[in-house]
Amino acid sequence: MNREMNGYEDGVKEMRIDYVYKVVVIGDSAVGKSQLLARFSKNEFSFDSKSTIGVEFQTRTTTIKSKVIKAQIWDTAGQERYRAVTSAYYRGALGAVVVYDITKRQTFDHVVRWVDELRAHADSSIVIMLIGNKADLEDKRAVPTEDAVEFAQDQGLFFSEASALSGDNVESAFFRVLEEIYSNMASKKALDCDSPRGNQMNGNGSVTLQGSKIDVIAGSDLEISEMKKLSSCSC
């Protein structure tokens, strides 16, 4: 029995993990990436959040269509000088959450750069969710919702405004990503955990993870060792 010691579990009694999905969170510094993650993984929020240095990850175990899914959500610094090796951060990611702050126009203008970085380093089938965070600060809004909707449609991203502070839309945004990953995998018929299929090498030498527990953990172990000095892990 694979018992999860840390990380949030949605009343999952049967602890056999069917799939581990790696999801990365990116966006400018101070947009609230770490607090969105804290809200989703621990239902916590802090006003006194320190800038992330290097890489951290949190987990949350949940069920989707009666499969036990462990979401392993990676968080890194928005500030360039604190960021860890980019390619290792994105390797094996099946989903990405790109965050901007609805009260800071520049953080939205930079989203295009984050999406470009994703497209350059992550697998082309990665599920991308754009989150306009700090939706509780409506009186300070600098990014109209319509601008973000248009951008998301152009780029083929899912989109939601959310608030790590109030918790509004945080769960639904992350769950949307997990559900999309699940249905993408189902449609690729790559879901069978007992299947002998392994990871597949792409032309660029990166590995496409098949969504099974063993395969994804193998990929993540590699990244963890690469980032050992900078990482902290709570799962």
Residues that bind ligand GTP in the complex, under the rule CB under 6 A = 29-35, 46-47, 49, 51-52, 77-79, 133-134, 136-137, 163-165
Judged by beta carbon distances under 5 to 8 A according to partner kind, the member of Mg ion, ligand GTP, none in contact with residue 107 is none
In angstroms, the Cα distances linking 94 to 34, 41, 106, 149 are: 19, 18, 27, 22
CB of 101 to Mg ion, least distance (A): 12
Q: Name the phi and psi angles at 14, rounded to 5.
A: -80, 110
- Cα separation, 57 vs 182, in Å, equals 20
Q: Give SS3 for 184.
A: helix
The answer to whether residues 34 and 26 touch, using CB atoms and an 8 Å cutoff, is no
Of 59 and 206, the one with the shorter C-beta distance to ligand GTP is 59
Of 137 and 207, the one with the shorter C-beta distance to ligand GTP is 137
Of 173 and 217, the one with the shorter C-beta distance to ligand GTP is 173
Judged by beta carbon distances under 5 to 8 A according to partner kind, the member of ligand GTP, Mg ion, none in contact with residue 32 is ligand GTP
Handedness of CA 86, 88, 91, 95 (dihedral sign): negative
For position 76 contacting Mg ion by CB under 5 A, the verdict is no
**Which residue is it, tokens 């306009």?**
132
CB of 36 to ligand GTP, least distance (A): 7
For position 52 contacting Mg ion by CB under 5 A, the verdict is yes
Of 106 and 232, the one with the shorter C-beta distance to Mg ion is 232
Judged by beta carbon distances under 5 to 8 A according to partner kind, the member of ligand GTP, Mg ion, none in contact with residue 79 is ligand GTP
Exposure string over 212-223, b if 16+ CB within 10 A, otherwise e: bbebbbebbeeb
Of 139 and 146, the one with the shorter C-beta distance to ligand GTP is 139
**DSSP code string of 67-136:** EEEEEEEEEE-SSGGG---HHHHHTT-SEEEEEEETT-HHHHHTHHHHHHHHHHHS-TT-EEEEEEE-TT
For position 58 contacting Mg ion by CB under 5 A, the verdict is no
Instruction: Count CB-CB contacts under 10 A for residue 65.
Output: 10
CB of 117 to Mg ion, least distance (A): 17
Judged by beta carbon distances under 5 to 8 A according to partner kind, the member of ligand GTP, Mg ion, none in contact with residue 218 is none
Of 78 and 211, the one with the shorter C-beta distance to ligand GTP is 78
CB of 58 to Mg ion, least distance (A): 12
Which of 21, 34, 57, 107 is the binder for Mg ion (CB under 5 A)? 34
The answer to whether residues 133 and 103 touch, using CB atoms and an 8 Å cutoff, is no
Task: List residues binding Mg ion (CB under 5 A).
Answer: 33-34, 52
